[in-house]
Amino acid sequence: MRSLFNAILFTLVIIIIVTVIFSFPLRVSGAESAETSPAVSEATEECLGCHEEVTPQIVADWKTSRHSRISFAGALKKDALSRRVSAEKVADNLSGVVVGCAECHTLFPDSHKDTFAHGGYKVHVVVSPADCAICHPVEQRQYSQNKMAHAYGNLVNNSLYRSLMNSINHVHFMEKGKVKQVPAPGNTDEDSCLACHGTKVEVKEFKQVETDIGEMTFPILSGWPNQGVGRINPDGTMGACTTCHPRHGFSIEVARKPYTCSQCHSGPDVPSYKVYGLSKHGNIYSALHHHWNFEAVPWTVGKDFTAPTCAACHISLLTTPSGDVVANRSHRMNDRLPWRLFGLVYSHPEPKSADTSIIKNKAGLPLPTELTGQPASEFLIDKKEEEQRLASLKSVCRACHTTRWVNGHFVRLKNTLKETDKSTLTATQLLLQAWEKGVASGPEQKDGIFNELIERYWVRHWLFYANSIRFASAMMGVDYGVFHNGRWQLTRNIEQMKELLKKHSK
């Protein structure tokens, strides 16, 4: 009898253990919510009252988020490595409640120009990094020092880049048998380059609108909607945390998976996502990621995942199974990047300042290198910083690879940078010949340098081909850099430039 009971109990224990193991991904959240079950603030309750009807999916999505289950006070209880907030303290009224609608959308009402009276509250539409910084100040500060936060200004405040943007977006029309062109309307830029770089979101007016529940006043925004990384928000801050942590689930799983980065990093100008997909890292990710844990903080190499995603190499806090830190979390993503592979024209050391619109080369152009390739060194990190960043990056590689393996890899990458820069110099020299011979109009004729056909061939040489080869080499997705969009196209492009020159020089 006794032994039968024991047998039953033993079986039960086994079953419970098995069940708990299999329910792992759900367990974390379930347990936490049971443990803390913090209150929803009165203000957020009011928001939810209407919005569960009006925008049901926003509410449902938020309910899947960690924000809906945990308070700042609860988040603070974790040990330092596991903590997801970087503030030490928040205001008392925020500390004990879950992070709901009101906790973000009513912060700093005076600094947000899109603040409007809504249901008795001062609500703003566009939650900005300044709002997020209440709980995540370190991430906000790091990100503000990241080129991505400056992506709007880095594009539109650089006369050359703006002219490249215009050459892509302008509209052709025919007048008296001649093709002319006008700059695109603002909406076009917003629907093109600024979709990724970020728009300038401004309040055009406050407008009374008839809704199902009566007349209401809303701010009408220009540059909206937008989730660009360098969006200029109505409170003047730069960037959008929701680019990578899309609202209102704010899922770390989303941010850690490569699809998030693909939104802006898969075109021929910056094909990181496509290269990753063809690399051994990407192959293993695709085949096995359903076995991995994308929620754990810190993220343990080998235990939580067995091949890196974009976030693993460039952002996340990584530890070994025995708890040693492999790399610190950084939202200043070039902390682990010594070189810029896809800057204008030539590869070069990373810029010192996240605001790259301040750069001027010796020829007076707003470029990080001369047109012949020499770096504009005073604006770029020095050798020592370069080596330190390379060391940080290599320490991530070495969690899985031997030192010789890693060194061999970087020898090749450096060779690739050198050879693609050499090829780009040749293309540039061909362009100079074209301008000299009058095959195209260049700076001397006060004409743009990105608009005519041979100029376009020159642009794609570095913006698409040299670029893609470098990414393919850097991330070992080598096939991409051969026939997809790489060495084949690079060497062919020289032949096409020669052909155009030859034809017109006859």
Q: Which is nearer to a copy of itself, 82 or 429 (CB)?
A: 429
Segment near a copy of itself (CB under 8 A); pick from 232-240, 262-270, 378-386, 387-395: 262-270
Residue 217, interface with a copy of itself (CB under 8 A)?
no
Residue 269, interface with a copy of itself (CB under 8 A)?
yes
Question: How far is Cα 86 from Cα 140, in angstroms, rounded to an integer?
Answer: 10
User: Which ranges in 355-484 belong to alpha helices (H)?
Assistant: 383-397, 403-436, 453-460, 467-474
Backbone phi and psi for residue 452, each to the nearest 5 degrees, phi listed first: -80, 165
Q: How far is the CB of 3 from a copy of itself (least distance, A)?
A: 12
Binding-site size, a copy of itself (CB under 8 A): 136
Is residue 139 within 8 Å of 86, Cβ to Cβ?
yes
Q: How far is the CB of 30 from a copy of itself (least distance, A)?
A: 10
Segment near a copy of itself (CB under 8 A); pick from 58-66, 104-112, 139-147, 331-339: 58-66
Is residue 272 within 8 Å of 266, Cβ to Cβ?
yes
Query: Structure tokens of 5?
Result: 């009971």
Which residues, 401 to 420, sit near a copy of itself by CB under 8 A? Answer: 401-405, 408-409, 411-412, 415-416, 419
Question: How far is Cα 414 from Cα 294, in angstroms, rounded to an integer?
Answer: 32
Which residues, 95 to 154, sit near a copy of itself by CB under 8 A? Answer: 125
Residue pointed to by tokens 């220009």: 222
Residue 280, interface with a copy of itself (CB under 8 A)?
yes
Classified as helix, coil or strand, 108 is coil
Q: How far is the CB of 194 from a copy of itself (least distance, A)?
A: 9
Among 29, 95, 262, 293, binds a copy of itself (CB under 8 A): 262
Q: How far is the CB of 101 from a copy of itself (least distance, A)?
A: 13
Using a CB cutoff of 8 Å and minimum separation of 24, what contacts does 115-118 make?
A: 115/219, 116/206, 116/217, 116/218, 116/219, 117/217, 118/216
Is residue 209 within 8 Å of 132, Cβ to Cβ?
no
Residue 24, interface with a copy of itself (CB under 8 A)?
no
| CA distances in angstroms from 354 to 150, 160, 327, listed in the order given | 6, 18, 22
Residue 49, interface with a copy of itself (CB under 8 A)?
no
Which residues, 147 to 176, sit near a copy of itself by CB under 8 A? Answer: 167-174
Question: How far is Cα 156 from Cα 159, in angstroms, rounded to an integer?
Answer: 7
Closest CA to 354 of 103, 157, 104, 81: 157
Among 82, 236, 453, 505, binds a copy of itself (CB under 8 A): 453
Is residue 32 within 8 Å of 93, Cβ to Cβ?
no
Segment near a copy of itself (CB under 8 A); pick from 90-98, 230-238, 274-282, 349-357: 274-282
Which residues, 26 to 45, sit near a copy of itself by CB under 8 A? Answer: 26
Q: Which is nearer to a copy of itself, 369 or 467 (CB)?
A: 467
What type of residue sits at position 300?
A: T
- Kind of pairing, strands 178-182 and 171-175? antiparallel
Which residues, 218 to 237, sit near a copy of itself by CB under 8 A? Answer: 218-221, 224-225, 227
Among 95, 157, 283, 395, binds a copy of itself (CB under 8 A): 283
Closest CA to 393 of 464, 305, 328: 328
Q: How far is the CB of 449 from a copy of itself (least distance, A)?
A: 14
Residue 438, interface with a copy of itself (CB under 8 A)?
no
Q: Which is nearer to a copy of itself, 140 or 473 (CB)?
A: 473
Residue pointed to by tokens 């001369």: 370
Segment near a copy of itself (CB under 8 A); pick from 72-80, 130-138, 250-258, 372-380: 250-258
Is residue 299 within 8 Å of 289, Cβ to Cβ?
no
Q: Which is nearer to a copy of itself, 283 or 377 (CB)?
A: 283
Q: How far is the CB of 424 from a copy of itself (least distance, A)?
A: 10
Which residues, 329 to 388, sit near a copy of itself by CB under 8 A? Answer: none
Question: How far is Cα 126 from Cα 106, in angstroms, rounded to an integer?
Answer: 10
Among 89, 328, 479, 505, binds a copy of itself (CB under 8 A): 479
- DSSP letter for 449, please: S
Residue 253, interface with a copy of itself (CB under 8 A)?
yes
- Kind of pairing, strands 299-300 and 214-222? unpaired
Which residues, 302 to 331, sit near a copy of itself by CB under 8 A? Answer: 302-303, 306, 320-322
Q: How far is the CB of 455 from a copy of itself (least distance, A)?
A: 9
Q: How far is the CB of 19 from a copy of itself (least distance, A)?
A: 5
Segment near a copy of itself (CB under 8 A); pick from 139-147, 345-353, 377-385, 451-459: 451-459
Residue 445, interface with a copy of itself (CB under 8 A)?
no
Q: How far is the CB of 103 from a copy of itself (least distance, A)?
A: 19
Among 238, 452, 458, 465, binds a copy of itself (CB under 8 A): 452
Which residues, 175 to 194, sit near a copy of itself by CB under 8 A? Answer: 177, 179, 184-185, 187-188, 190-193
Among 49, 56, 183, 443, binds a copy of itself (CB under 8 A): 56
> What distance lies between CA 256 and its chain's CA centroid?
11
Question: How far is Cα 230 from Cα 146, in angstroms, rounded to an integer?
Answer: 10
> Per 3-state DSSP, what percentage of the chain is helix, strand, and coil (rounded to 5)?
50, 10, 35
User: Which ranges in 191-291 belong to alpha helices (H)?
Assistant: 193-197, 252-256, 258-262, 272-278, 280-288
Query: Structure tokens of 293?
Result: 């844990």
